[in-house]
């Protein structure tokens, strides 16, 4: 493996990705340096590896990545003991749907990973829409096959989040939105649910034949960035989405 890119002199892309996989596991820079040195045949000290990583990320400090991963891990500890489950939506979830949707309307927040929720007040109509998208033969024109999940807290049956997996790309998804969209209801945020929900969804992504998934977040959404990084996301690029006028950071997670 080439440790340094011969043209730029920065760490090569495979080495940068290896560092990010280590950090995503919650390992310190010291542990990461020892593991990478053993694999690459190098002799980096922790501080040297951190600086080299920062340079390879276009000047972004390696400590920023490490801090983001550690913050996500601390948040997740708050809900580690709670039993959660991913379920497909059914008519039994109608009241939870109404409450979930209303929280986002009240907060003026985006309903990412919820399909047609924003424009669909009736839970049964929304359920019908999600069922059509779940089967390739019934996907509406202009859409892609997608599976919608609810993330439910078993103790009280409350839907704390929603996550949608798109089975393949159209042009928009490939450039901007990626394979996965998700959201956590406003009253349940900052408790680590997003990190767990994304982690619990990745086995399904593997089961439908995906080898890696693209996930994006707005460049100002620090919470979503931490969620992606904590699940092994590796930054690829930033794309400007003209319709919404936002910069979207694109990350890949290898399954």
The whole-number pLDDT of residue 33 equals 84
* Residue 1 belongs to a domain: no
∠ CA 175-180-183, nearest 5°, is: 120
The kind and range of the H/E element at 105 are helix 94-107
pLDDT in tens, 39-84: 888 888 888 888 888 777 765 555 566 566 555 555 555 555 689 9
Q: Indicate whether 158 and 126 sit together in one domain.
A: yes
Q: Indicate whether 121 and 175 sit together in one domain.
A: yes
* Residue 65 belongs to a domain: no
Whether 26 has a pLDDT exceeding 90, the answer reads no
Q: What is the mean pLDDT of residues 131-140?
A: 95
Q: Indicate whether 19 and 91 sit together in one domain.
A: no
Q: Indicate whether 27 and 128 sit together in one domain.
A: no
Domain that holds residue 233: 84-254
Quote the CA–CA distance of 238 and 233 in Å, as a whole number.
14
> How many separate domains does the chain show?
2
Q: Indicate whether 33 and 134 sit together in one domain.
A: no
Answer yes or no: are the C-beta atoms of 217 and 224 closer than 8 Å: yes
* Residue 5 belongs to a domain: no
Domain CATH for 242:
3.40.630.30
Please indicate, yes or no, whether the overall pTM of this predicted structure exceeds 0.85: no
For 5-14, 68-77, 118-127, which range has the lowest pLDDT when averaged over its residues? 68-77
């Amino acid at each position: 493996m080439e440790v340094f890119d011969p043209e730029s002199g920065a760490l090569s892309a495979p080495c940068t990705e290896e560092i990010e996989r280590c950090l995503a596991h919650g390992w310190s820079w010291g542990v990461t340096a020892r593991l990478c040195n053993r694999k690459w045949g190098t002799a980096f000290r922790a501080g040297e590896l951190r600086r080299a990583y920062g340079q390879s990320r276009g000047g972004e400090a390696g400590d920023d990545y490490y801090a983001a991963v550690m913050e996500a891990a601390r948040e997740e500890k708050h809900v580690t003991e709670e039993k959660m489950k991913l379920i497909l939506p059914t008519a039994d979830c109608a009241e939870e749907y109404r409450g979930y949707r209303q929280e986002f309307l009240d907060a003026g927040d985006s309903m990412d990973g919820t399909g047609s929720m924003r424009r669909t007040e009736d839970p049964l109509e929304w359920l019908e829409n999600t069922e059509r998208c779940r089967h390739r033969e019934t996907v509406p024109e202009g859409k892609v096959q997608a599976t919608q999940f609810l993330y439910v807290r078993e103790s009280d049956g409350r839907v704390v989040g929603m996550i949608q997996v798109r089975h393949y790309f159209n042009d928009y998804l490939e450039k901007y939105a990626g394979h996965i969209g998700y959201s956590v209801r406003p009253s349940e945020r900052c408790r680590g649910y997003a990190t767990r929900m994304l982690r619990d969804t990745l086995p399904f992504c593997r089961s439908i034949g995906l080898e890696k998934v693209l996930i994006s977040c707005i460049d100002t959404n620090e919470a979503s960035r931490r969620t992606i990084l904590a699940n092994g996301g590796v930054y690829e690029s930033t794309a400007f989405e003209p319709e919404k006028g936002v910069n979207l950071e694109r990350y890949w997670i290898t399954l």
